[in-house]
């Protein structure tokens, strides 16, 4: 019995030892596996785990300011706070509710509901004034988060609204200069890396990694808020007295293309860009329809819309004819009140006709038959050549988004009748800015400039300044022709159709226009006047366009006085400022 048990035990002992060694072997294998995972694969899994645990919160960069020619800040940032609560970190829910409802002016139930809500982070109120945010922060309540944020703020409210544009929820530019100079203005957002648990709740003890934001560059523009402000007042006044649909104003320096003002009334409030104008009932409108109305409200007529320029375009016809030598200043014409083109009879606005007149007088009278005659003398090829030379078929390249192109006949489709109508500014469409720039290049000595607002950007951190340069095409028009045109256009204001823009003791040149809008016979007109000063060497050029005025609709009657009034006020100011010297 004892012997049997002994032998029995020998092999079962061996076997138990064998089991032990098998286990040992397996454990060795597992340790090897652990070494592989925790030493050789450690970096990979650490990285993966880090990606899983870290949440990125962005710190918004302050958007660059927009500053006018006088150093006035016209687009600024306001620091606002967002107050939120983190449920898991709240220690004293009653006190948090009490303080937040008191400081934020919210009902206790409203705050309580959010304080008690089981979520990672619950927003209580955004766009809170920084002062209020600071007060709340000073309570040092556990679980209450005060995040600072920037909100765009426009101190001049609606002034130059369609030029400046505004920003959206992420502080990104939506329209206007805010979009065009986005890359400079936006800056670079910083980040806070925080560690969170699986539900996204921040782990307090883990600390945070911070990458500081880089603020946007300040944009200095050529707009002068004094001129802009005055032009806007004038435009509003005109819109009201003439019961016009809208009034636009462009004031620029014809020498370098710098724009001093660009007005499109009615403007809108940049601080509330999504509020439709009074009298528009937005209720019951579809989102799409509402957006359409907003887009209409934001539209910058000076660059986004085209119109038939009418008689102001005679500047181009005259310049081309003089350059090409098909007419001289002293050429004599006779206007019977109409001109025959093929079998079509094109009437002069003076039905009785202007009778005998030379070319200067014809321009002063804005005589259509004379301009048709010289247009036909030029011929399609020559006319088209000057169109191209002026860059009328291209966009002006203004630093605003959404510039509209010229709507013009194809060259092969221009017959005698079309050529005749083009000669006095009809049957095609251009933007107001295109007209202003083209006129500027005629009177500035013949250089085609690029209209612009942006002058330079200045880094808010380093103070480093970067100026923009704009393309200038020299000698589009010869100096002589330019001088002749200045003389003729000065005559228009002194003795001709533009005399309502005449200011005693000032040399002002200009041209009026009255164009009927399409469809013809609708009884709607656009009255406009383009003026510049001083006539011998222009420093400032202004274009005023009155859309659908009621009553008297002649440009010479209603638009010229507006430009006169503008000049009366801004010319002394500009001289005082030594603005263009």
Partner 1 sequence: MSARRSSGRQSNSENYMDYSLLFIVIFLLGFGLVMVYSTSSYEANLNFDGDSAWYLRKQLTATILGIIAMFVVANIPYHFWERFAALGYIVSVILILLIIPFGHEANGAKRWLYIGGISLQPAEAAKLGMILFLASMICSMGKSIRTRKGFYTVLAVPVPIALMLWKITSNMSSAIIVMGIAVLMLFVSCPDYKRFIIWGLVVIAGAALLVFAIVQMSQSDAENMGFRFARILAWLDPEAYASGKGFQTLQGLYAIGSGGILGKGLGASMQKLGFIPEAQNDMIFSIICEELGLFGAIAVILMFIMLIWRFMIVANNAPDLFGALLVVGVLGHIAIQVILNIAVVTNTIPNTGISLPFISYGGTSVVFLLTEIGLVLSVAKGIRLKDL
Among 138, 198, 351, 352, binds partner 1 (CB under 8 A): 198
Q: Is 528 a catalytic residue?
A: no
Determine if 38 is a binding residue for partner 1 (CB under 8 A).
yes
Tell the residue number behind the tokens 């321009």, with chain if given.
363
Smallest gap from residue 207 Cβ to partner 1 (A): 13
Smallest gap from residue 22 Cβ to partner 1 (A): 9
Determine if 204 is a binding residue for partner 1 (CB under 8 A).
no
- Dihedral sign for Cα atoms in the order 195, 201, 202, 204: negative
Smallest gap from residue 123 Cβ to partner 1 (A): 21
Smallest gap from residue 118 Cβ to partner 1 (A): 9
Confirm if 159 and 267 have CB atoms less than 8 A apart. yes
Token pair for residue 453?
């607002």
Determine if 117 is a binding residue for partner 1 (CB under 8 A).
no
Determine if 49 is a binding residue for partner 1 (CB under 8 A).
yes
Among 31, 204, 282, 340, binds partner 1 (CB under 8 A): 31
Confirm if 427 and 421 have CB atoms less than 8 A apart. yes
Binding window for partner 1 (CB under 8 A); candidates: 43-51, 63-71, 515-523, 546-554: 43-51
Catalytic residue among 248, 311, 482, 515: 311
3-state secondary structure of 64: coil
- For 240-243, the CB contacts below 8 A with 24+ separation are 242/546, 242/549, 242/550, 242/551, 242/558, 243/549, 243/550, 243/551
Confirm if 561 and 572 have CB atoms less than 8 A apart. no
Element (H, E) at 97: helix 93-104
Binding window for partner 1 (CB under 8 A); candidates: 26-34, 105-113, 156-164, 321-329: 26-34
What is the DSSP pairing of strand 66-67 with strand 218-221?
parallel
Among 3, 5, 343, 504, binds partner 1 (CB under 8 A): 5
Determine if 50 is a binding residue for partner 1 (CB under 8 A).
yes
Determine if 475 is a binding residue for partner 1 (CB under 8 A).
no
- Count residues near partner 1 (CB under 8 A): 42
Contacts of 232 (CB under 8 A, 6+ apart): 159, 160, 249, 261, 263, 265, 267
Binding window for partner 1 (CB under 8 A); candidates: 22-30, 385-393, 462-470, 516-524: 22-30
What is the DSSP pairing of strand 338-341 with strand 54-59?
unpaired
Smallest gap from residue 201 Cβ to partner 1 (A): 8
Determine if 34 is a binding residue for partner 1 (CB under 8 A).
yes
Determine if 92 is a binding residue for partner 1 (CB under 8 A).
no
Determine if 15 is a binding residue for partner 1 (CB under 8 A).
yes
Determine if 35 is a binding residue for partner 1 (CB under 8 A).
yes
Determine if 139 is a binding residue for partner 1 (CB under 8 A).
no
Confirm if 254 and 540 have CB atoms less than 8 A apart. yes
Binding window for partner 1 (CB under 8 A); candidates: 106-114, 192-200, 502-510, 552-560: 192-200
> 392: how many CB neighbours lie within 10 A of its CB?
20
Among 82, 88, 548, 557, binds partner 1 (CB under 8 A): 88
Pick left, alpha or beta for residue 279 (phi over 0 → left; psi -120 to 50 → alpha; otherwise beta): left
Instruction: Choose among 335, 368, 339: nearest CA to 353.
Output: 335
Among 142, 203, 340, 407, binds partner 1 (CB under 8 A): 203
Burial class (CB in 10 A: 0-12, 13-18, 19+), 543: buried
Of residues 91 and 381, the one with the C-beta less far from partner 1: 91
| Residues near partner 1, by CB under 8 A | 2, 5, 8-9, 11-13, 15-20, 23-24, 26-27, 29-31, 33-35, 37-39, 41-42, 44-46, 48-50, 52-53, 88, 195, 197-199, 203
Which residues belong to the active site? 311
């Amino acid at each position: 019995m004892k012997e049997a048990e002994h032998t029995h035990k020998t092999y079962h002992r061996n076997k138990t030892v064998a089991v032990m060694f098998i286990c040992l072997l397996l454990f060795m294998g597992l340790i090897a596996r652990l070494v592989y995972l925790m030493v050789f694969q450690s970096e990979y899994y650490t990285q993966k785990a880090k990606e899983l645990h870290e949440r990125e919160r962005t710190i918004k960069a302050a958007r660059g300011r927009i500053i006018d020619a006088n150093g006035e800040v016209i687009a600024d940032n306001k620091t606002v706070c967002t107050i939120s609560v983190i449920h898991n970190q709240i220690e004293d829910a009653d006190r948090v509710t009490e303080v937040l409802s008191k400081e934020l002016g919210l009902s206790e139930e409203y705050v309580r509901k959010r304080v008690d809500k089981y979520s990672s982070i619950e927003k209580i109120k955004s766009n809170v004034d920084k002062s209020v945010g600071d007060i709340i922060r000073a309570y040092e309540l556990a679980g209450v988060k005060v995040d600072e944020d920037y909100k765009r703020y426009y101190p001049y409210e609606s002034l130059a609204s369609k030029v400046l544009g505004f920003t959206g929820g992420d502080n990104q530019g939506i329209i206007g200069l805010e979009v065009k100079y986005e890359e400079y203005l936006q800056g670079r957002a910083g980040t806070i890396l925080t560690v969170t648990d699986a539900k996204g709740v921040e782990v307090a003890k883990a600390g945070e990694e911070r990458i500081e934001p880089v603020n946007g560059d300040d944009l200095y523009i050529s707009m002068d808020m004094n001129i802009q402000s005055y032009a806007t007042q004038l435009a509003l006044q005109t819109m009201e007295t003439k019961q016009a649909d809208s009034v636009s104003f462009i004031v620029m320096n014809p020498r370098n293309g710098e724009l001093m003002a660009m007005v499109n009334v009615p403007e809108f409030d940049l601080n509330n860009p999504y509020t439709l104008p009074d009298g528009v009932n937005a209720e019951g409108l579809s989102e799409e329809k509402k957006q359409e109305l907003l887009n209409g409200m934001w539209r910058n007529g000076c660059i986004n819309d085209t119109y038939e320029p009418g008689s102001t375009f005679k500047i181009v016809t005259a310049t081309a004819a003089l350059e090409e030598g098909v007419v001289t200043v002293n050429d004599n014409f006779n206007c019977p009140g109409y001109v025959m083109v093929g079998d079509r009879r094109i009437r002069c606005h003076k039905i009785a006709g202007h009778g005998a007149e030379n070319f200067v007088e014809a321009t002063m009278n804005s005589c259509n038959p004379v301009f048709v005659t010289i247009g036909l003398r030029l011929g399609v090829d020559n006319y088209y050549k000057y169109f191209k030379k002026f860059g009328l078929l291209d966009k002006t390249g203004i630093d605003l988004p959404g510039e509209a192109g010229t709507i013009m006949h194809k060259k092969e489709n221009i017959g005698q009748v079309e050529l005749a109508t083009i000669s006095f500014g009809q049957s095609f469409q251009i933007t107001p800015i295109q007209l202003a720039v083209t006129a500027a290049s005629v009177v500035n000595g013949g250089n085609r400039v690029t209209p612009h607002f942006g002058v330079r950007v200045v880094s808010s951190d380093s103070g480093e300044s970067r100026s923009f340069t704009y393309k200038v095409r020299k000698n589009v028009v010869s100096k002589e022709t330019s001088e002749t045109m200045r003389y003729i256009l000065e005559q228009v204001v002194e003795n001709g159709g533009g005399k309502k823009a005449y200011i005693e003791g000032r040399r002002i040149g200009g041209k009026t226009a009255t164009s009927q809008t399409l469809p013809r016979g609708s009884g709607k007109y656009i009255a406009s006047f383009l003026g510049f000063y001083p006539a011998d060497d222009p420093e400032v050029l202004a274009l005023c366009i009155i859309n659908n005025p009621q009553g008297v609709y002649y440009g010479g009657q209603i638009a010229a006085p507006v430009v006169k009034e503008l000049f009366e006020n801004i010319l002394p100011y500009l001289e005082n400022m030594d603005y263009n010297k």
